[in-house]
């Protein structure tokens, strides 16, 4: 049970993680950033002087050309397969951070590669634009959420344009746009009509001072309101839900189909769904006359003989004045009232306290009367909201028993299967594993836990006091929010007809813009009476609109579908178009969305598939309703952080002299500060502004640096000091490209006509093509791809004396190198491509080239490194051309001529020459 409670707690914690990548701002932050920037500028200007390449001029040159070229629409080649690359769309906070740059650098690299590799690629971008921060801005700064959002989108789009990310902006969408939320509302109605959307009472966070509902994010860890500071209360209100639980089994089962998702994410999904099998038992109440027995869910039916009491959750229906015995009622209800005020007790001692209800129930197997308690460790919304207390075999129950003095003697009914003879059982702590049933289990003594559980369950069914049961931890999705900045739930409440869905032809239900924001009292929508009051679509009588809006997770649970057909005016998307592009081939985003966003997207896809929203005939279609094929969860970007070693205080950039990168000093004392890499945050003064870095270092070097520093799923420790290495490499490749002669490209000779050095360069080139292609199609470890490319460029430059730039093999190597770099470093690669192909190539962009293919025959080395043994002892090694392998006389001649040969063989005759391991080992027997 403790495990159960813990998981519930961690779930609540992760629920508090904002759904968006919101980054706030404050004047102070900007000030320190500026100072930091000045320092960085000085540092980088010095570096720039050493570089002969003007990266920013090259970037603007190509950005302009791309813009010009984009004006000429390119025909779509329908014979090519489709490929859908998607990076999670951002919340328009108004500021791009390094995390964004990392995701987009990854998705842009993949999609540019796929285009060259022969695919029709979809790579769209949009805005997860509804949500709380906009509303808070309205309350705090008096700026309308709509205005705030529009402004932020413009700023971020401008920042994105600097990154040379090739998004298809013709497909842009914003979830706060009526053209989008009309279809969010449509999908709500689809689910409503399918019986998958319903209303029921649920607990909300209530601020008793401002008299308003709070989102989880607005309740601080002490359980107080972010605004008023009042202790937040729990209040029941009617809420809208999506029936996610209807798909619980499919959502669980289909995780096994997600071969290209990280195991960690799959496990998180499984845990969240939390399937548990066991039994439901009924305990009749023996002390008073009631017909209703107490039902409990247990995963351990084999422990039924060890049940020594029952515990009800505080919200169990039996916990009320009418059903509780008079003498106890007041104290029990008082106990429950007190609990409501202590929301955040978690594992504290408090949580273990319970109260006796005065009721007794009968254990259907032992026939004993056992006491019934109420305690907060029993969750009201899991199982039946009541548990059978087995102190001997459950840790929580054991502790509860101790704290509340429930029984004199704990009864052990299961014992370890393997135990030393004569060793007494340890009864000082609970035994929670499975084992063999003891004599305390009556007729089941000696059986193993598993078999005993089954037999007990069978007997319970016979007696009519139990049956097998399955429980899911997964809950239905509470989607209504008592907030303004979201899609209005398209429902009308009529006094006569009750809940009436808005007819689809009346969509969208517009979100009125002219409302008042105070953050207090009723939601801004409820204040607009002219909007709230409407006509019932059924009986035409006066009725009222639903004033709740939808959780922003609803918006983001289907945006990837809309991208397949973003301008559709009659449907959320055309089934044929969507089915041709879905599932998304690769989805890239932060691991903070590993649970809810992905689960909700999977649910909506499954629900819509069931509703027939996809085209069965299409080849690709999201079969089984799984929306994302490959999932790439990128790690965080951490910043270099300085702390005062004495006080542990975080140091501002202006307090540290970091001009010598490896040797920073505190300006005030000259001491060396503590250095660590931590999540970038305002309070740690370790944030790095990507726009600034791009301006200073060039976008290509920045992209390379991000891709090179760490594999995508790992933490990236940001250090601008090492970008210089990438800049140098780019400069080197440019120089190499410029060294190629003008004139028409000569044809590659056949391998046999290549010189030995050409042959080796050709081999390294092909080997690199093979490796980089593998990386970009299967494991996405861009860092290894980059190091492979660096190795190729090193090989080419170190062979420059033996293979001239006029050699077709040299040109092939450099051109392949440039093509393979292009997805990662678009502008520089264009520049290199132009230089390398100057007069020879008809196409003007490297992105019009196909991805290089490799020649499998070239992968084999033309030479062999052989270990030379003499009489079985390793003496030296030589390199011989492969074709010499059969020519033993020549091998002997060469070995005899070598230093080792002269020393160990001299003029002795050779009895036998043994060639082993395909020639890698040659043994001379004298
Ligand atoms: C008796 C028992 C004996 C239990 C034993 C466990 C071990 P999972 O597997 O996570 O589903 N439980 C049931 N409903 C609960 C609720 N609403 N709040 C808190 N705990 C609850 O957990 C199932 C177990 O969690 C159940 O099995 C029950 O304790 C507890 F040796 O019943 B058990
Ligand atoms: Zn009506």
Ligand 1 centroid distance, CA of 388 (Å): 8
Ligand 1 centroid distance, CA of 240 (Å): 29
pLDDT given at position 137: 86
In a domain, 529, yes or no: no
The answer on 194 and 311 residing in a single domain is no
Residue 779 carries which DSSP code? Answer: I
* Region 347-369 average pLDDT: 87
Provide the CB-side half-sphere exposure for 904 (13 A, CA): 21
CB 134 within 8 A of CB 485: yes
Cα distance between residue 556 and residue 34, in whole Å: 35
Q: Which of residues 578, 600, 634 is at a domain's end?
A: 634
Residue nearest to atom 14 of ligand 1 (CA): 383
pLDDT given at position 625: 93
The answer on 568 and 626 residing in a single domain is yes
Domain count, the chain: 6
pLDDT given at position 626: 96
State yes or no: pLDDT of 279 exceeds 90. Answer: yes
Atom of ligand 1 nearest to the CA of 7: 10
In a domain, 263, yes or no: yes
In a domain, 60, yes or no: no
Mutate-to-test residue for ligand 1 from 298, 346, 398, highest number of ligand atoms within 8 A of CB: 298
**Can you list the alpha helix ranges (DSSP code H) found in 582-655?**
596-610
Q: How confident is the model at residue 44 (pLDDT cuts 50, 70, 90)?
A: low
Residue nearest to atom 10 of ligand 1 (CA): 4
Q: Pick the ligand that lies closest to the CA of residue 534.
A: 2
The answer on 668 and 622 residing in a single domain is no
Cα distance between residue 697 and residue 702, in whole Å: 7
Ligand 2 centroid distance, CA of 239 (Å): 21
Residue nearest to atom 25 of ligand 1 (CA): 1
The answer on 870 and 809 residing in a single domain is no
The answer on 455 and 355 residing in a single domain is yes
CB 91 within 8 A of CB 21: yes
Provide the CB-side half-sphere exposure for 843 (13 A, CA): 8
**Can you list the alpha helix ranges (DSSP code H) found in 17-97?**
27-50, 55-70
Ligand 1 centroid distance, CA of 578 (Å): 43
Cα distance between residue 253 and residue 271, in whole Å: 13
Mutate-to-test residue for ligand 1 from 10, 274, 299, highest number of ligand atoms within 8 A of CB: 299
CB 96 within 8 A of CB 690: yes
State the residue for tokens 């019986």: 195
DSSP string spanning 409-456?
A: SPPP-EE-SS--TTPPP--SS---S--EE-GGGGGGTT-BHHHHHHHH
* 107 burial via Cβ count (<10 Å: 0-12, 13-18, 19+): buried
The answer on 280 and 406 residing in a single domain is yes
The answer on 279 and 260 residing in a single domain is no
Choice between 880 and 586, residue whose per-residue pLDDT is larger? 586
Q: Pick the ligand that lies closest to the CA of residue 498.
A: 2
State yes or no: pLDDT of 151 exceeds 90. Answer: yes
337 SS3 class? helix
* Region 222-242 average pLDDT: 88
Residue nearest to atom 7 of ligand 1 (CA): 394
Domain that holds residue 164: 81-171+557-634
CB 371 within 8 A of CB 406: yes
Cβ atoms < 10 Å from Cβ of 348: 10
CATH number for the domain harbouring residue 732: 1.10.730.10
Which of 379, 548, 384, 386 lies closest to 478, judged by CA?
548
Question: How big is the CA angle at 501 (ends 476 and 474), to the nearest 5 degrees?
Answer: 5
Atom of ligand 1 nearest to the CA of 386: 17
Range of lowest pLDDT (105-109, 415-419, 767-771): 415-419
Q: Pick the ligand that lies closest to the CA of residue 280.
A: 1
Ligand 2 centroid distance, CA of 549 (Å): 22
pLDDT given at position 736: 95
Residue nearest to atom 28 of ligand 1 (CA): 298
Residue nearest to atom 26 of ligand 1 (CA): 298
pLDDT given at position 32: 46
CATH number for the domain harbouring residue 218: 3.40.50.620
* 242 burial via Cβ count (<10 Å: 0-12, 13-18, 19+): buried
Q: How confident is the model at residue 22 (pLDDT cuts 50, 70, 90)?
A: very low
Ligand 1 centroid distance, CA of 583 (Å): 38
Q: Which of residues 634, 667, 687 is at a domain's end?
A: 634
Tokens of 178: 């009526």
Which of 37, 46, 35, 33 lies closest to 724, judged by CA?
46
The answer on 412 and 342 residing in a single domain is yes
The answer on 736 and 664 residing in a single domain is no
354 Cβ contact partners less than 8 Å away, ≥ 6 residues apart = 311, 373, 374, 375, 376, 377, 400, 403, 404
Atom of ligand 1 nearest to the CA of 390: 3
Which of 164, 151, 50 lies closest to 112, judged by CA?
164
State yes or no: pLDDT of 7 exceeds 60. Answer: no
Ligand 1 centroid distance, CA of 197 (Å): 29
Atom of ligand 1 nearest to the CA of 377: 19
State yes or no: pLDDT of 9 exceeds 90. Answer: no
Ligand 2 centroid distance, CA of 237 (Å): 23
Task: Annotate 385-404 with three-state secondary structure.
Answer: CEEEECCCCCHHHHHHHHHH
Ligand 1 centroid distance, CA of 389 (Å): 9
Ligand 2 centroid distance, CA of 261 (Å): 48
Q: How confident is the model at residue 41 (pLDDT cuts 50, 70, 90)?
A: low
Choice between 422 and 825, residue whose per-residue pLDDT is larger? 825
Q: Pick the ligand that lies closest to the CA of residue 500.
A: 2
Cα distance between residue 441 and residue 452, in whole Å: 10
State yes or no: pLDDT of 764 exceeds 60. Answer: yes
Cα dihedral: 93, 98, 102, 103 (round 10): -10
Q: Pick the ligand that lies closest to the CA of residue 398.
A: 1
Mutate-to-test residue for ligand 1 from 352, 354, 387, 395, highest number of ligand atoms within 8 A of CB: 387
Q: Pick the ligand that lies closest to the CA of residue 496.
A: 2
Q: 59-92 burial, b for 16+ CB within 10 Å, e for fewer? A: beebbeebeeeeeeeeeeeeeeebbbbbbbbbbb
Backbone angles phi, psi at 374, to 5 degrees: -120, 135
pLDDT given at position 20: 31
Backbone angles phi, psi at 666, to 5 degrees: -75, 130
Mutate-to-test residue for ligand 1 from 2, 4, 410, highest number of ligand atoms within 8 A of CB: 4
Range of lowest pLDDT (205-209, 669-673, 823-827): 205-209
Which of 535, 504, 529 lies closest to 516, judged by CA?
529
* Region 827-831 average pLDDT: 96
* Region 2-24 average pLDDT: 31
In a domain, 76, yes or no: no
State yes or no: pLDDT of 367 exceeds 50. Answer: yes
The 10s digit of each residue's pLDDT in 686-719 is 888 999 999 999 999 999 999 999 999 999 999 8
* Region 70-77 average pLDDT: 86
Residue nearest to atom 30 of ligand 1 (CA): 1
Q: Which region, left, alpha or beta, applies to residue 862 given φ > 0 means left and ψ of -120 to 50 means alpha? A: alpha
Ligand 2 centroid distance, CA of 556 (Å): 32
CATH number for the domain harbouring residue 356: 3.90.740.10
The rounded percent of the chain whose pLDDT value lies above 70 is: 92
CB 827 within 8 A of CB 700: yes
> Which of 141-145, 556-560, 595-599 is most confident?
556-560
Tokens of 614: 């996809």
* Region 264-274 average pLDDT: 95
Cα distance between residue 598 and residue 585, in whole Å: 15
Around ion ligand 2, residues with a beta carbon closer than 5 Å are: 494, 496-497, 536, 538-539
Question: How big is the CA angle at 387 (ends 385 and 391), to the nearest 5 degrees?
Answer: 155
Ligand 2 centroid distance, CA of 503 (Å): 13
The answer on 255 and 385 residing in a single domain is no
Q: Pick the ligand that lies closest to the CA of residue 400.
A: 1
The answer on 450 and 373 residing in a single domain is yes
The 10s digit of each residue's pLDDT in 557-597 is 999 999 999 999 999 999 999 999 999 999 999 988 889 99
- Pocket residues for ligand 1 (CB within 6 Å)? 1, 4, 276, 297-300, 303, 313, 378-379, 382-383, 385, 387-388, 390, 393-394, 471
The answer on 384 and 324 residing in a single domain is yes
The rounded percent of the chain whose pLDDT value lies above 90 is: 67
Q: How confident is the model at residue 12 (pLDDT cuts 50, 70, 90)?
A: very low
The 10s digit of each residue's pLDDT in 476-513 is 999 998 889 999 999 999 999 999 999 999 999 999 99
pLDDT given at position 136: 85
The 10s digit of each residue's pLDDT in 436-470 is 999 999 999 999 999 999 999 999 999 999 999 99
Range of lowest pLDDT (182-186, 266-270, 358-362, 523-527): 523-527
Residue nearest to atom 1 of ligand 1 (CA): 298
- The mean pLDDT value of the chain amounts to 89
Which of 520, 540, 551 lies closest to 242, judged by CA?
551
In a domain, 705, yes or no: no
Q: How far apart are the first and last CA of the chain?
A: 76
The 10s digit of each residue's pLDDT in 211-229 is 778 877 778 888 888 778 8
Q: Which of residues 843, 859, 875 is at a domain's end?
A: 859
Ligand 1 centroid distance, CA of 297 (Å): 7
In a domain, 574, yes or no: yes
pLDDT given at position 26: 33
Q: Pick the ligand that lies closest to the CA of residue 375.
A: 1
The H or E element containing residue 525 is none
In a domain, 8, yes or no: no
In a domain, 836, yes or no: yes
* 425 burial via Cβ count (<10 Å: 0-12, 13-18, 19+): exposed
Ligand 2 centroid distance, CA of 492 (Å): 9
* Region 190-203 average pLDDT: 95
* Region 107-120 average pLDDT: 98
Cβ atoms < 10 Å from Cβ of 154: 12
Tokens of 732: 């080197």
């Amino acid at each position: 049970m403790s495990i159960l409670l813990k998981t519930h707690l961690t779930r609540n914690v992760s629920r508090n993680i904002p759904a968006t990548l919101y980054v706030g701002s404050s004047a102070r932050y900007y000030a320190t950033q500026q100072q930091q920037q000045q320092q960085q500028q000085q540092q980088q200007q010095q570096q720039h002087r050493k570089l002969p390449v003007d990266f920013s001029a090259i970037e603007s040159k190509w950005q302009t050309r791309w813009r010009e070229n984009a004006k000429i629409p390119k025909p779509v080649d329908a014979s090519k397969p489709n490929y859908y690359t998607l990076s999670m769309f951002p919340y328009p906070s108004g500021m791009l951070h390094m995390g964004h740059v990392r995701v987009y650098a990854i998705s842009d690299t993949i999609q540019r590669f796929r285009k060259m590799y022969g695919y029709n690629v979809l790579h769209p971008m949009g805005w997860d634009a509804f949500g709380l921060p906009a509303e808070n801005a309205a309350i705090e700064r008096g700026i309308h959420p709509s205005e705030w959002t529009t402004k932020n989108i413009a700023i971020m789009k401008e920042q994105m344009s600097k990154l040379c990310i090739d998004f298809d902006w013709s497909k842009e969408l914003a979830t706060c746009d009526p053209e989008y939320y009309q279809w969010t509302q449509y999908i709500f109605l689809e689910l409503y009509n399918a019986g998958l959307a319903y209303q029921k009472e649920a607990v909300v966070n209530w601020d008793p001072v401002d008299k308003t509902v709070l989102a989880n994010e607005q309740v601080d860890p002490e359980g107080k309101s972010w605004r008023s500071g009042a202790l937040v209360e729990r209040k029941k209100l009617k809420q809208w839900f999506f029936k996610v639980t209807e798909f619980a089994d499919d959502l669980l089962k289909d995780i096994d189909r997600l071969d290209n998702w990280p195991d960690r994410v799959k496990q998180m999904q499984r845990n969240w769904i939390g399937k548990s099998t066991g039994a439901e038992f009924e305990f009749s109440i023996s002390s008073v006359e009631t017909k209703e027995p107490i039902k409990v869910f247990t995963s351990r039916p084999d422990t039924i003989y060890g049940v020594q009491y029952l515990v009800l959750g505080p919200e169990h229906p039996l916990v009320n004045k009418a059903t509780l015995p008079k003498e106890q009622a007041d104290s029990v209800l008082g106990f429950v009232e007190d609990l409501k005020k202590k929301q955040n007790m978690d594992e504290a001692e408090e949580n273990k306290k319970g109260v006796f209800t005065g009721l007794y129930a009968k254990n259907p197997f032992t026939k004993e009367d056992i006491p019934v308690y109420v305690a907060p460790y029993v969750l009201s919304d899991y199982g039946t909201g009541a548990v059978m207390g087995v102190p001997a075999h459950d840790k929580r129950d054991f502790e509860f028993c101790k704290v509340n003095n429930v029984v004199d003697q704990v009864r052990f009914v299961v014992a370890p299967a393997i135990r030393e003879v004569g060793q007494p059982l340890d009864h000082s702590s609970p035994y929670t594993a499975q084992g063999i049933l003891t004599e305390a289990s009556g007729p089941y003594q000696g059986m193993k836990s598993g078999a005993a559980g089954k037999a007990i369950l069978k007997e319970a069914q016979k007696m009519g006091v139990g049956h097998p049961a399955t429980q899911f931890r997964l809950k239905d999705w509470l989607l209504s929010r008592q907030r303004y900045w979201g899609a209005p739930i398209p429902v009308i409440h009529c006094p006569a007809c009750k809940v009436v869905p808005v007819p689809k032809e009346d969509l969208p239900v517009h979100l009125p813009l002219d409302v008042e924001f105070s953050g207090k009292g009723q939601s801004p929508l409820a204040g607009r009476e002219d909007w709230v009051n409407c006509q019932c679509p059924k009986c035409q009588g006066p009725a009222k609109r639903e004033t709740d809006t939808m959780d922003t997770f609803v918006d983001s649970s289907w945006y990837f579908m809309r991208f397949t057909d973003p301008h559709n005016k009659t449907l959320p998307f055309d089934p044929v178009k969507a089915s041709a592009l879905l599932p998304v081939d690769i989805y890239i985003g932060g691991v903070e969305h590993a649970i809810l966003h992905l689960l909700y997207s999977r649910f909506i896809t499954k629900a819509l598939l069931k509703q027939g929203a996809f085209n069965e005939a299409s080849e690709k279609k999201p079969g089984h309703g799984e929306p994302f094929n490959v999932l790439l969860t990128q790690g965080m970007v951490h910043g270099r952080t300085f702390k005062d070693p004495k006080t542990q205080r975080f140091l501002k950039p202006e307090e540290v002299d970091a001009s010598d990168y490896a040797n920073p000093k505190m300006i005030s004392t000259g001491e060396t500060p503590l250095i660590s890499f931590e999540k970038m945050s305002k309070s740690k003064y370790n944030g790095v502004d990507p726009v600034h870095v791009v301006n200073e270092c060039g976008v290509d070097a920045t992209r390379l640096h991000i891709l090179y520093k760490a594999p995508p799923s790992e933490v990236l420790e940001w250090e601008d000091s090492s970008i210089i290495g990438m800049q140098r490499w780019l400069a080197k490749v440019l120089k190499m490209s410029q060294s190629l002669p003008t004139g028409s490209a000569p044809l590659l000779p056949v391998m046999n006509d290549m010189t030995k050095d050409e042959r080796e360069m050709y081999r390294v080139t092909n080997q690199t093509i093979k490796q980089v292609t593998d990386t970009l199609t299967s494991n996405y470890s861009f860092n290894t791809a980059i190091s492979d490319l660096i190795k190729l460029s090193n090989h080419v430059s170190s062979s420059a004396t033996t293979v001239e730039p006029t050699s077709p093999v040299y040109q092939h190597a450099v051109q392949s190198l440039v093509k393979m770099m292009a997805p990662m470093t678009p502008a520089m690669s264009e520049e290199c491509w132009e230089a390398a192909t100057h007069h020879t190539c008809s196409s003007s962009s490297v992105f019009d080239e196909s991805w290089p293919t490799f020649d499998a025959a070239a992968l084999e080395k033309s030479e062999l490194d052989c270990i030379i043994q003499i009489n079985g002892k390793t003496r030296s090694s030589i390199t011989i051309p492969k074709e010499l392998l059969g020519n033993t006389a020549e091998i002997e001649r060469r070995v005899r001529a070598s230093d080792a040969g002269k020393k160990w063989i001299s003029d002795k005759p050779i009895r036998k020459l043994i060639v082993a391991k395909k020639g890698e080992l040659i043994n001379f027997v004298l």
